[in-house]
Amino acid sequence: MSLFRSWRSPISSLNIILAPGDITYQIFGKPLSLYWDFAYNFSGDDRFNRDYGPLFSHYFYVGRSSTPSFSGRVQPSFSDNSAWLVGLKFGDNKKAGDFSVSADYRQQGISSIDPNINYSDFAFSNLNAEGWVFTLA
């Protein structure tokens, strides 16, 4: 169930391992699915420092200067380079009149995936976000 994807563009390079999956049971003649997805970007540290950084944890002013100086360079963590979700879906949409409802919780690290390939209906396609997604179809 895992897939290795390597994608390069002029803006960024991604080396992502994906681990999606689901378990489905029939309840009242309709499918009930527990689903998940996990993605980890092995090039996330480079992307974090090249595209988003360097980022610093502290700033200070020297003398009467209005220009800040920075210290404490931030290093990316595991959660910055990973994205995951876990959800539950009841029903299916195969023909007109079908019904489904789903809810999932997800977290997307800042250097985990590219904002051009993530789910655009969550957090306005921004990364470094976590929260719930509810759908009714």
Q: Is 110 exposed, middle or buried (0-12, 13-18, 19+ CB in 10 A)?
A: buried
Looking at residue 12, its pLDDT comes to: 54
Looking at residue 2, its pLDDT comes to: 46
Looking at residue 1, its pLDDT comes to: 44
Tell me the percentage of the chain whose pLDDT exceeds 90: 44
Task: State which residues form the domain around 115.
Answer: 3-136
* pLDDT tops 60 at residue 10: no
Tokens 């539950």 found at? 88
Decide if 123 contacts 95 (C-beta within 8 A): no
- Give the total number of structural domains in the chain: 1
pLDDT band for 7, please (50, 70, 90 cuts).
Answer: very low
| pLDDT tens-digit readout, 17-75 | 999 999 999 999 999 999 999 999 998 888 888 877 778 888 888 888 888 888 888 88
* pLDDT tops 70 at residue 113: yes
What is the four-CA torsion angle of 78, 102, 118, 35, rounded to 10 degrees? 50
